[in-house]
Homo-oligomer: A and B are copies of this chain.
Amino acid sequence: MVRAVDHAYTLIRDGILTGRHEPGERLGEAELAELTETSRTPVREALRQLEMEGLVEVLPHRGARVTAWTAADLEEIYDLRAMLEAFAAERAAGRIEPKDLDRMTEVCDLMDEAAGPGATQDLDRVTELNAEFHGLVRAAAASTRLVTMLNAVVQLPLVVRTFHRYSAADLARSCAHHRELVAALRAGDGLWAQSVMRSHVLAAKAVLLRAAADETETR
């Protein structure tokens, strides 16, 4: 048995992440209540939650809209994320358990497999594994507040389906970063881990910004 709030939250969130609700689209409470087969009360709470995470904007007496990101937002968010993830990596270096490190190595192998060129390539699986990898780092950082903040800035990359914009070289570099991070964590070197993680996120930012620039150019 799940709470209606969680049900509504998950449904609306997925609707935004999969692009079913476009940026700027208006989200009426009554409409969402019907969609989620609940009432407006849990929908309201779910929208508040999503507002905190930055996925929707709600204006008093005017309802909620799906957040529309600008290129400047994107840059700002990735800079924030770089800092937060680097901090998490540093903390993780002093706390992570060997079994988590082993699992991270496994995830790296699976990612190489799913990211490799050819018919077996599965970018959605890569996204999933990537989320697990970074989740392990955050969990090892052991800071509930940090995790909350990261959740707020990590949603966006999902919206824009990051990995579908990666070139083969970008993907290879990303996987290499992951392996290097595991090495840094295994060595217990906080500075190294922090540094690799920062590179990792900033590289992702560069890919995204270039992709965004290309899009507006060809338009």
Contacts and interface: CB of A to CB of B under 8 A. Distances in A.
Contacts of A153: 145
A18 interface: no
Copies of this chain, complex-wide, total 2
Contacts of A152: 145, 148-149
Interface residues of A, number: 22
Interface string A64-102: 000000000000110110011001000000000000000
B76 A145 contact: yes
A74 to B, nearest CB: 11
A3 B145 CA distance: 28
A52 interface: yes
A77 B80 CA distance: 17
Contacts of A80: 87, 143, 145-146, 149
